[in-house]
Amino acid sequence: MLAQLGHDPTALGVARLYADFTGTFVIDPADESQAAAIAALGMRVAALPIVMNTRAQKRKLARALLSL
């Protein structure tokens, strides 16, 4: 959908869309290679496992997000 709208469908592309109104951007560790470029947009970057298949994974991510 992002590509169809003319946007870069990557973590960095999404970060560019949010750069004007968020100070923290969460990415999956698989996208960690984009962290420096996202940080250069002025955002704090947190690389956290965002795919949640179990209740324990959901809780772990929720705790990590609340600690940000």
Per-residue pLDDT tens listing for the chain (68 residues) = 888 988 889 999 999 999 999 999 999 999 999 999 999 999 999 999 999 999 999 999 999 999 99
Dist CA 30 CA 57 (whole Å) = 16
Distance CA 37, CA 11 (A): 10
What is the rounded distance in angstroms from the CA atom of residue 46 to the CA atom of residue 24? 7
The pTM of this model reads: 0.86
